[in-house]
Amino acid sequence: MARWNDQESAGSGMFLLGALAGALVGAGVALLMAPKSGAETRQELNSGLNTMRDAASRRYRDLADKATTLADKARTAAAERYNGGTTASVNDSFPATPGTGYQA
């Protein structure tokens, strides 16, 4: 029974590899057979890549902003739990006299 699953898994992997190779070859043939000049095709490809790069850059900035916001919220929540709900910073030092600091 295990042999059948291994063979099936290998077969589906080979199918996906073949489909990907076929798609790449098809795209290359389509570019070569297009009625546009090479310069026009390169310009369109460059434009498309620039658009994708800009979209990825915007998405990265959005995710970075969200991560920063979440990290700030987590840092504030941790500071409030650590300080017993006071507004003091996590970086505030302990009192010099032992036994007068934070009490759980």
Along the 104 residues of the chain, how does pLDDT read in single tens digits?
445 555 566 677 888 999 999 999 998 888 778 788 878 888 888 898 899 999 999 999 999 999 999 999 999 988 888 877 555 555 555 555 555 555 55
**Residue numbers of the domain that contains 57:** 50-82
- Structural domain contains residue 25: no
79 and 90 in contact (C-beta within 8 Å)? Answer: yes
- Structural domain contains residue 56: yes
Question: Cα–Cα distances in Å, from 49 out to 16, 44, 46, 57, 100?
Answer: 25, 9, 5, 12, 62
- Structural domain contains residue 69: yes
- Structural domain contains residue 5: no
- Total domains in the chain come to 1
Question: Cα–Cα distances in Å, from 13 out to 1, 3, 17, 27, 35?
Answer: 19, 15, 6, 21, 35
pLDDT of residue 1: 46
Distance separating alpha carbons of residues 12 and 14, to the nearest angstrom? 5
